[in-house]
């Protein structure tokens, strides 16, 4: 009876607070994608949206509607582990832990130094990168506390995990990927790649792909680096055609054979390619400003966010695997990273 009362109370609260969305409280029953809206820097108005594939609708401000408070100042990333969702809020220096089925707050992990990305290492452990600290934070998922730090001697950004290895990119001003043994949380190697490794994925052959943007002042050529994860040796370097190339947000198709990234549109490249093409983008921006990118691992949909002018509400754009626009939905301010929630995740 207590659980029933709680469910009804949350449903009524959502119904009273959600604007422009029908039947709130039911959208989490199906598949879809979470969109992290960064909000204005220092504005504390970051938020969480969810686009439902089942209803073909977007639900905005869902964290606020459930918990009665905003998500915080610049949410940046999230991860799902067991019955919990972990949302990293960069400028607030915290992680919001919520129930995966209701989004009700479980705990707020504080004391983090400019956290950026979270990666689930095991059922009991996660790593969190940092923009300003030389250490990666270790989170104990059993009690949702910081259990320690790993000094990697660099600030950190993207994290990719394979077997018992975590690959952590040193983005701002860096050119290395640090390798951590996740069994003992020790740095065991470093890989020199190219200037400012910004994002990473692992392909079907267990090759680590590192997108290096060359620095924000375009003083170096951007490069796409292929790393053999058995030896940690660089196998291939694909150099972008001009120094003005500014690629970002590397993603991979569900079958692990095609890479996608943003550069004046959505571009794609096969993992066996030997060069980066200078041809027109696969999906042109066509009046939008693509900010972040995601690829649905099941149906191949390509999703981008449009940050517009970084002040007003942005857009979620969903394209088919062939590049045809399927829907354009209004999000909150500065829609950023996206995370798919499949039906199998929420059984």
CB count within 10 Å of CB 339 equals: 17
Work out the widest C-alpha separation in the chain, in whole angstroms: 65
Beta bridge partners of 208: 202, 227
Token pair 């990273």 in the structure block, residue: 337
Share the mean pLDDT of the chain: 91
Q: What CA–CA distance (Å, rounded) separates 296 from 252?
A: 9
Identify whether the C-beta of residue 248 lies closer than 8 Å to the C-beta of residue 261. yes
In three-state secondary structure terms, 288 is coil
pLDDT of residue 277: 86
Average pLDDT over residues 215-221: 91
Average pLDDT over residues 229-244: 97
Q: What CA–CA distance (Å, rounded) separates 38 from 74?
A: 4
Report whether pLDDT(24) > 90: no
Q: How confident is the model at residue 347 (pLDDT cuts 50, 70, 90)?
A: very low
Query: How much helix, strand and coil, in percent to the nearest 5, is found in the chain?
Result: 10, 50, 45
Average pLDDT over residues 17-44: 74
Average pLDDT over residues 34-50: 96
Report whether pLDDT(71) > 90: yes
pLDDT of residue 19: 41
Q: What CA–CA distance (Å, rounded) separates 49 from 81?
A: 19
Q: How confident is the model at residue 216 (pLDDT cuts 50, 70, 90)?
A: confident
CB count within 10 Å of CB 16 equals: 9
Q: State the number of CA atoms in the 13 A half-sphere of 283 facing the CB.
A: 24
Q: What number of residues does the chain have?
A: 347
Identify whether the C-beta of residue 144 lies closer than 8 Å to the C-beta of residue 162. no
Q: What CA–CA distance (Å, rounded) separates 76 from 96?
A: 11
Segment 135-171, tens digit of pLDDT: 999 999 999 999 999 999 999 999 999 999 999 999 9
Cα 215 to Cα 81, 146, 163, 183: the distances in Å are 33, 32, 30, 33
Identify whether the C-beta of residue 172 lies closer than 8 Å to the C-beta of residue 186. no
Count Cβ neighbours within 10 Å for each residue of 250-285 and write b for 16 or more, e otherwise: bbbbeebebbbbbbebbbbbebeeeebeeeebebee
Average pLDDT over residues 262-287: 95
pLDDT of residue 5: 35
Report whether pLDDT(13) > 70: no
**CA-based nearest residue to 157, from 196, 122, 206, 110:** 196
CB count within 10 Å of CB 236 equals: 17
**CA-based nearest residue to 224, from 204, 248, 205, 244:** 248
pLDDT of residue 345: 52
Average pLDDT over residues 213-235: 95
pLDDT of residue 218: 86
CA angle 257, 261, 267 (to 5 degrees): 85
pLDDT of residue 273: 96
Average pLDDT over residues 256-270: 97
Report whether pLDDT(16) > 80: no
Name the strands in the sheet holding 258-262, side by side, starting at the edge strand that comes first in the sequence. Answer: 248-252, 258-262, 266-270
Report whether pLDDT(22) > 90: no
Q: How confident is the model at residue 344 (pLDDT cuts 50, 70, 90)?
A: low
Dig out the tokens for 338 from the structure. 């996206």
Q: What CA–CA distance (Å, rounded) separates 248 from 262?
A: 5
In three-state secondary structure terms, 225 is strand
Average pLDDT over residues 249-257: 98
């Amino acid at each position: 009876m207590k659980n029933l009362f709680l469910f009804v109370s949350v449903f009524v609260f959502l119904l009273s607070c959600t604007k422009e969305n029908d039947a709130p409280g039911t959208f989490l029953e199906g598949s879809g994608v979470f969109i992290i809206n960064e909000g204005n820097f220092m504005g504390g108005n970051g938020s969480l949206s969810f686009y439902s594939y089942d209803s073909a609708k977007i639900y905005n401000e869902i964290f606020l509607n459930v918990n009665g408070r905003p998500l915080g100042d610049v949410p940046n990333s999230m991860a799902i582990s067991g019955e919990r969702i972990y949302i990293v809020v960069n400028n607030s220096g915290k992680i919001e832990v919520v129930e995966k089925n209701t989004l009700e707050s479980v705990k707020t992990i504080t004391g983090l130094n400019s956290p950026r990305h979270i990666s689930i290492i095991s059922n009991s452990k996660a790593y969190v990168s940092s923009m300003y600290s030389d250490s990666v934070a270790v989170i104990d998922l059993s009690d949702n506390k910081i259990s320690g730090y790993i000094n990697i001697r660099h600030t950190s950004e993207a994290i990719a995990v394979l077997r018992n290895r975590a690959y952590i990119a040193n983005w701002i001003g860096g050119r290395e990927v640090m390798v951590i043994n996740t069994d003992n949380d020790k740095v065991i190697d470093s890989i020199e790649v190219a200037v400012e490794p910004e994002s990473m994925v692992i392909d079907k052959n267990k090759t680590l792909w590192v997108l290096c943007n060359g620095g924000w002042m375009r003083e170096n050529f951007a490069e796409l680096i292929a790393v053999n994860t058995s030896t940690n040796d660089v196998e291939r370097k694909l150099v972008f055609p001009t120094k003005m190339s500014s690629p970002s947000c590397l993603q991979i198709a569900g079958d692990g054979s095609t890479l996608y990234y943003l550069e004046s549109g959505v571009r794609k490249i096969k993992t066996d390619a030997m060069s980066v093409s200078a041809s027109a983008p696969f999906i042109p921006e066509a009046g939008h400003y693509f900010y972040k990118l995601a690829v649905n691992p099941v149906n191949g949909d390509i999703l981008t966010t449009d940050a517009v002018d970084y002040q007003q509400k942005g857009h979620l754009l969903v394209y088919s695997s062939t590049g045809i626009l399927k829907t354009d939905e209004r999000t909150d301010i500065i829609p950023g990273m996206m995370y798919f929630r499949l039906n199998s995740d929420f059984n």
